[in-house]
A and B are shown apart, each in its own frame.
Chain A
Amino acid sequence: MRDRLLLGLALLLAIALPWLAEAAGSPATVSLATRMAIYAIAAASLNLVLGYGGLVSFGHAAYFGLGGYAVGILYAHWRSEELLLGLIPGSIGLLPTLGAAMLLGGASAAVLGALSLRTRGVQFIMITLAFAQMLFFLFVSLKAYGGDDGLSIRRRGEFPGLDLRAPAQLYWLCLGLLVGWLLLLWRVTRSRFGQVLAGARQSERRMAALGVSVYPYRLVAFVISGMGTALAGGLMANALRFVSPDMMHWAKSGELMIMVILGGLGTLLGPVLGAIALVGLENWLSAWTEHWQFILGPILLAVVLFGRGGLMALLRRVLPA
């Protein structure tokens, strides 16, 4: 009961944030909070496979980048009025572009997941990383879409009644999608599907003895996760009005994983806390020194070595259930 109250309060605060920022005279906070919400969607998606499924994917930046490029490429074709592959018209509609992002993310996750899930453990880590790197190189070489330099997007997605040029509206959109996505993940993890996924994490051998082959369940989780991550990528393309292969860089995959661990592996709200903490920390450190990674590295090390359970565990100690 108290937890629900606190959660509602936090949500109210999050909704009111643009007004509070304005009152405090720091409008930049809104775009920072937008980035946090977007990364929270990506981290929560990764958490489905990493935390609930126990699958250490080190390549989720690929889906993040693919989502971004789906939006960017559709914009480029909308602008040039040329059909994509001679078939698909460009678009700047919010629904078609974000839908395309999720479709592309899901389809790629299906293909790469089908291959990667044939391996276990360290090989799985290496192969997901390698496939993401493969896509990174693919987009570096696609000169038609900017190659190395990336692709600028002059117009944010359009939706009747929304004006995403206003930072506050973009923020509310991202916040709304985050809340919706979390609700969906909450249902999924508690469903029969979620129980099998969690069981496969704890003992694949046990699941086989119950008559369950875990591969198709893991693959479906991987696809859902890829879709959510790509949605976040599509939103990021809207927020930054820019996509580049950097969105797919392996270090981005690492950051997403850190958000999940920092917040709390296999918890619903952990990835959200982790995203807020990491984006905030990077923002704060980089304002302070150019060499912020020199400090962030050891902080991460300390979190892994000593911070069992992440921020959610810390929160639980302050607010026992």
Chain B
Amino acid sequence: MALLLEQLLNGVQLGVMLFLLAAGLTLVFGIMGVINLAHGSLYMVGAFASAFVAAQTGSFLLALLAGLAAAALCGMAVEYVVLRRLYARDHLDQVLATFGLILFFNQGMVLLFGRQPLFVDIPPLLQGAVEIIPGVPYPAYRIAIIGVGLLVGLGLWFLLQKTRVGMLVRAGATHRDMVRALGVDVRLLYTLVFGLGALLAGLAGLMAGPIFSVQVGMGEQILIQTFVVIVIGGLGSVRGAVAGALLVGLVDTLLRAFLPATLRSVMQGADADALASGLASMGIYVLMALVLLVRPRGLFPAHA
């Protein structure tokens, strides 16, 4: 029971990470109509910048700021230099151009930091564990991640539904020319939205640092999982991103936690572990296939 609760929380925590990435990706797609493969690179940039500053200064706050700033600035630069030339192009061009960006960013990180993974300490304030229910300790850092996820989710909802900026963003998606005619600088708006998406990706990346190792290629692994989230949740829908991220986070975590033991009861230990890890990795893709069979446009399609 305690194990199940712990794994459920782990699942939610993975879901939060995926949500931070999926929200940015889906916003950028919903508003600008662009698919950005380099979104995972921004996650990586956030992780590296924060790990580097933490190692140099020992300050968690500085590391946090550095990670956020690096990702957001990188994102806005990418938008300004490359992506705004791609808004009018088809998805194929967008995919290929941003694929080129991935190669560039990955190799750039290798040039700067080498191929060795960086390891990041948990900030002192969040070390240790919290007893969520009596007798079940859970790492404080992971609780903090879940908390940040909740805050970001609420903040996004407030921003999109309740503020003038959010109104412009939503209007800019459907009536681009009208918004422009009203004298709003759409290009600036897009750059800012892109920066926001990058900021969220960077946030996820820097929070991932102490849990996973920080290394080149980390962005693509989570990017593909993020795609699964978006396909399941429905493209362009923040609500779908929330649902998809939690679903994928939970399914992936629970399969990894409980499949090996289940298989070991019917076959040899080593084989069972290998097969279980393979099947667990495949789990979310099977989930995606099942969702698609029932609802080809995902659980919460943006424009029903």
CA distance A145 to B193 in the complex (A): 46
A130 and B100 contact, Cβ closer than 8 Å, known pairs A56-B91, A142-B278, A297-B107 = no
A126 and B230 contact, Cβ closer than 8 Å, known pairs A143-B274, A297-B107, A301-B100 = yes
Q: How far is the CB of A67 from chain B (nearest CB, A)?
A: 20
- From B277, which residue of chain A is reached at the shortest CB distance? A141
**Is there a chain B Cβ closer than 8 Å to A298's Cβ?**
yes
Structural contact, B100 and A304, CB atoms closer than 8 A: yes
Structural contact, A125 and B292, CB atoms closer than 8 A: no
- Report which residue of A122, A251, A303 has the largest number of chain B beta carbons within 10 angstroms of its beta carbon: A122
Partner-binding segment picked from A83-91, A132-140, A229-237: A132-140
Structural contact, B274 and A301, CB atoms closer than 8 A: no
**Is there a chain B Cβ closer than 8 Å to A217's Cβ?**
no
Residues of B within 8 A of A141 (CB): 274-275, 277-279, 281
Residues of A within 8 A of B76 (CB): none
Partner-binding segment picked from A20-28, A93-101, A253-261: A253-261
Q: How many residues of B contact A (CB 8 A)?
A: 48
**Is there a chain A Cβ closer than 8 Å to B235's Cβ?**
yes
**Is there a chain B Cβ closer than 8 Å to A131's Cβ?**
yes
Structural contact, A257 and B96, CB atoms closer than 8 A: yes
Structural contact, A121 and B227, CB atoms closer than 8 A: no
Partner-binding segment picked from B129-137, B181-189, B282-290: B282-290
Residues of B within 8 A of A254 (CB): 95-96, 99
CA distance A147 to B279 in the complex (A): 13
Q: Digit string of B200-221 for contact with A (CB within 8 Å is 1, else 0)?
A: 0000000000000000000010
The residues in A between 114 and 164 inclusive whose CB is less than 8 angstroms from any CB of B are 115, 118-119, 121-123, 125-127, 129-131, 133-134, 137-138, 140-143, 147
CA distance A134 to B284 in the complex (A): 9
- From B301, which residue of chain A is reached at the shortest CB distance? A123
**Is there a chain B Cβ closer than 8 Å to A296's Cβ?**
yes
CA distance A56 to B91 in the complex (A): 8
Residues of A within 8 A of B293 (CB): 115, 118
- From B35, which residue of chain A is reached at the shortest CB distance? A122
- From A111, which residue of chain B is reached at the shortest CB distance? B289
Q: How far is the CB of A106 from chain B (nearest CB, A)?
A: 19
Residues of B within 8 A of A56 (CB): 91-92, 95
Structural contact, B93 and A304, CB atoms closer than 8 A: yes
Structural contact, A127 and B288, CB atoms closer than 8 A: yes
Residues of B within 8 A of A261 (CB): 92, 96
**Is there a chain A Cβ closer than 8 Å to B108's Cβ?**
yes
Structural contact, B91 and A293, CB atoms closer than 8 A: no
CA distance A115 to B105 in the complex (A): 33
Residues of A within 8 A of B224 (CB): 129-130, 133, 250
Q: How far is the CB of A116 from chain B (nearest CB, A)?
A: 8
**Is there a chain B Cβ closer than 8 Å to A305's Cβ?**
yes
Q: Which of A118, A137, A296, A305 is close to B85, meaning CB atoms less than 8 Å apart?
A: A305
Q: How far is the CB of B36 from chain A (nearest CB, A)?
A: 11
CA distance A294 to B111 in the complex (A): 9
**Is there a chain B Cβ closer than 8 Å to A58's Cβ?**
yes
CA distance A297 to B183 in the complex (A): 37
Structural contact, B235 and A122, CB atoms closer than 8 A: yes
The residues in B between 219 and 241 inclusive whose CB is less than 8 angstroms from any CB of A are 220, 224, 227-228, 230-231, 235
- From A308, which residue of chain B is reached at the shortest CB distance? B93
**Is there a chain B Cβ closer than 8 Å to A300's Cβ?**
yes
Q: Digit string of B16-53 for contact with A (CB within 8 Å is 1, else 0)?
A: 00000000000001000001000000000000000000
CA distance A178 to B117 in the complex (A): 42
Structural contact, A297 and B101, CB atoms closer than 8 A: yes
The residues in B between 96 and 133 inclusive whose CB is less than 8 angstroms from any CB of A are 96-97, 99-108, 110-111
Residues of A within 8 A of B177 (CB): none
Residues of A within 8 A of B171 (CB): none
**Is there a chain B Cβ closer than 8 Å to A92's Cβ?**
no
Residues of B within 8 A of A122 (CB): 29, 35, 91, 235
Residues of B within 8 A of A258 (CB): 96, 99
Q: Which of A50, A121, A294 is close to B107, meaning CB atoms less than 8 Å apart?
A: A294
**Is there a chain B Cβ closer than 8 Å to A291's Cβ?**
yes
Q: How far is the CB of B269 from chain A (nearest CB, A)?
A: 12
Q: Which of B91, B282, B286, B288 is close to A125, meaning CB atoms less than 8 Å apart?
A: B91
Structural contact, B231 and A123, CB atoms closer than 8 A: yes
Q: How far is the CB of B257 from chain A (nearest CB, A)?
A: 16
Residues of B within 8 A of A58 (CB): 95
Residues of A within 8 A of B277 (CB): 141
Q: Which of A119, A142, A147, A297 is close to B292, meaning CB atoms less than 8 Å apart?
A: A119
CA distance A139 to B124 in the complex (A): 40
The residues in A between 300 and 317 inclusive whose CB is less than 8 angstroms from any CB of B are 300-301, 303-305
CA distance A251 to B220 in the complex (A): 10
CA distance A134 to B287 in the complex (A): 11
Which B residues lie at the A interface, using CB under 8 A? 29, 35, 82, 85-86, 91-93, 95-97, 99-108, 110-111, 220, 224, 227-228, 230-231, 235, 270-271, 274-275, 277-279, 281-282, 285-286, 288-289, 292-293, 296-298
What are the 5 tightest A-B residue pairs by CB atom distance, in nearest-first order?
Answer: A141-B278, A297-B104, A300-B100, A297-B103, A137-B281
Q: Enumerate 17 A-B pairs (CB-CB under 8 Å) in ascending A order.
A: A56-B95, A115-B289, A126-B231, A141-B274, A142-B274, A250-B220, A250-B224, A254-B95, A261-B92, A265-B92, A292-B107, A296-B100, A297-B102, A297-B105, A300-B97, A301-B104, A304-B93
